Structure 1
Amino acid sequence: MNYALDALWWKLTDRPVRDLAALLTAPPLWASGCELGVRQLLGERGFRYLLDLDADPQPLADYLAEHAPFAHRLGLYAEHLLAFWFNHAPHAELYAHNLPVVSDGLTLGAADFVASLNGKLYHIELACKYYGSANGRLDDMCGLNRSDRMADKGAKLPQQLMLLKLSDGLKTLKNNGLQFDDLQPASIVRGIGFFPPNTAPEPPLNPHGWHGLYLTDWREYPFDNPNARFYKIGRMDYLAPARVSETETLTTDAVTQISDGLIAVLEHRPDGFWHEVLRIMKTEAV
């Protein structure tokens, strides 16, 4: 699936609002077994609230400014976007964010969120990952930093989801006045899987997830459009499809000088901006 082509991206223009929308509506990168669906995250009025927020993004901008800087930590930025949503969306209520669980003076971990959606209580864990491989095999999927491996994160997430079910987690809830008997673990797994052409993802990767193209050599890419434009995506801009002005775009000659990174293939649209229609993970061959 190419989530960048969703009609949503024709409507939203503010960059942080677009990032928030991606966290709420993108398909999960892999199946955790307890994934929160778009319906739960948006509620009945959430989409209208996103449109209103795009028309007046100052409340979100003020919230992010209050909690900045994020030190180029995409996960921290994404957490604060969701914290804003759980604090302000009509159907949501936030009880805890980044709640540490301690045992005998040692921190076992921190629960990303304790929140209610439509009156149902959740312990929510967020993961935003961008993994690719030359063969599409799960064991070989990794980020631009090759030590960031999908197999490791996939194994860690179930442990994080059980954090508030263990005795120390239950004690933490009680000590914070959160004596919930029906707290349900749930995940929000976002990101992109990158594969060579004609390569299908293996389970538990979502076959309907947001997928891009994996390249080790620019000669593998069909530069068949002489008017094509490209954009190298900074780490803090990974969450949503790119929407940039022409001065920010790169030509074919310029993009082929990039040895590694995430690159958006762009299309010019009637709003005067260049919009992402495909994302590429470019790595150097090993």
Structure 2
Amino acid sequence: MQIASIAESEPFYQLRHLAVRDLAWCCLSAPLLQALPQSEAQILPLDTGDLWPWLHKLDKNPTALLTALASVKSTRLGIYYETLWRFYFSHNPDWQLLVHNLPINRGKATLGAFDFLCKQGNDFWHIETAVKFYLCATRDPQQAIDWRFWIGPNSNDRLDLKLARLCDHQLPLHTTPEGRSALQTHFPHATHWKSGLCMQGYLFSPAPINLNPVALSRTEAMSHFIRPHHNHPSQGMGFWWHLRDFLHINTTTKNITADTVWIALQRAQWFSPVQLSDAELTTEAHLFNDKLCQQVQQTKRPLMIAAVKKCRSDNSEDIVWREVLRGIVVADDWPATLE
């Protein structure tokens, strides 16, 4: 869980390059859900064994990964996530990437596309991928079980609708007549296809009223998280605030934790836990309030934030700042008043 202590997140911080840390996050962090009863798809990531030697080797020479990422011009997080998985399936010796984004047509209409067709040992896989960030639009834990109360930061996405599309359309694509025909044409030796879903991200609960979560112990903070049905117990969690509430909390509790500072996250920092040098932190902390008001207040766009804590680097006496809590600040009218 992303609110875990620094010690529990240390393996990620041993990787120097952000892209390699993000790849490790894809391979090793928990999925959003531990089960999807409406589908026969297996929830991924699978138990991939000990990936750390491979990841550390890649961290020493990340040229292949950086080249793969640079070849993709889109800045969308979903495309970045998909590219990381494409690199994994292409370079991990346990997997063979057969095809990526194979479109399936019915006449002149496109039914969809297979995200990934892969082979692992003797097994053939159709795998769909998605990275998602949802905020719970209720404080009632019983209501929060219902997927429809989990909404995307821009209010244009909802967990129940995403899961319905996955179950009804994307995951069963290989079972449609057109899907079966395409698979038979391209891979006649494959007699059976397994289905897999890799959906990762973060879930954000309404922040505790009039409390600064950074000042809470890990156990106290966890008690304020509310969860949807079938949520994975190790899923990354955080809090969300309306702008007015965050500004109030941040002003009234400014000096409660001198060694912990809020920073704004760029979209490139939305995946793996954040680590900054002392010099980087000084710049980020100085710009935080301006970014907060400009983005959320003026443009009405949500801002992902993180609380980072001062500590010693693992391999030196250098000061580094590492993430201990993640959050999102949204406009005051998002999406409606909580009960």
Checking the alignment, whether the CA contact within 8 Å between 1:231 and 1:248 is kept in structure 2 is no
Question: Letter of the aligned partner of 1:268 in structure 2?
Answer: K
Counterparts of 2:125 and 2:134 in 1: how far apart (Å)? 27
Look up the SS of the partner of 1:123 in the other structure: strand
* C-alpha distance in 1 between matches for 2:49 and 2:20: 17
Find the counterpart in structure 1 of residue 150 from structure 2: 141
Q: Measured at CA, do residues 103 and 7 of structure 1 come closer, stay the same or move farther in structure 2, by a change above 3 Å?
A: same
2:134 paired residue number? 131
Aligned length: 281
Distance, in Å, in 2 between the alignment partners of 1:9 and 1:269 is 15
Cα distance change, pair 256–76 in 1 and its aligned pair in 2 (3 A): closer
State how far apart, in whole Å, the 2-side matches of 1:43 and 1:183 are. Answer: 22
Which one has the largest radius of gyration? 2
Deviations 1:148-185 (A, max 9, x none): 11111111112211111111101111232354222100
> Which runs of 5 or more structure 2 residues have no equivalent in the other structure?
209-223, 297-301, 314-318, 334-339
Map residues 1-286 of structure 1 onto 2, 5 A cutoff.
1-2=1-2, 5=6, 6-30=9-33, 31-32=35-36, 34-39=42-47, 42-44=48-50, 46-65=51-70, 67-70=71-74, 72-135=75-138, 137=144, 138-158=147-167, 159-177=169-187, 179-196=189-206, 197=208, 198-216=224-242, 217-218=245-246, 219-220=248-249, 223=254, 224-244=256-276, 245-251=280-286, 257=293, 259=296, 260-271=302-313, 272-286=319-333
Question: Per residue, is there more helix in 1 or in 2?
Answer: 2
Instruction: Flag as ranges the 4+ runs of structure 1 deviating above 6 A.
Output: none
Name the SS for the 1:80 alignment partner.
helix
Sequence identity percentage: 27
How many angstroms does 1:256 deviate by?
5.8
Paired residues of 2:94 and 2:121 also in contact (CA < 8 A):
yes
Offset, 1:8: 1.8
What secondary structure, in the 3-state scheme, does the structure 1 residue paired with 2:86 have?
helix
Q: Which runs of 5+ in 1 are unaligned?
A: none
The worse-fitting range, judged by mean Cα deviation, of 82-91 and 28-37 is: 28-37
Conserved 8 A contact 1:43-1:118: no
Structure 1 pair 79/23, CA: closer, same or farther in 2 (3 Å)? same
TM-score by length of structure 2 reads: 0.76
Q: Matched residue of 1:18: which SS?
A: helix
1:142 CA drift (Å) = 1.2
Alpha-carbon distance between aligned partners in 2 of 1:255 and 1:230, rounded to the nearest angstrom: 12
Structure 1 distance, partners of 2:3, 2:93, is 26
- In the TM superposition, residue 281 of structure 1 has moved relative to its aligned partner by 1.2
Q: What's the CA shift for 1:207?
A: 3.5
TM-score by length of 1: 0.89
SS at match of 2:174: coil
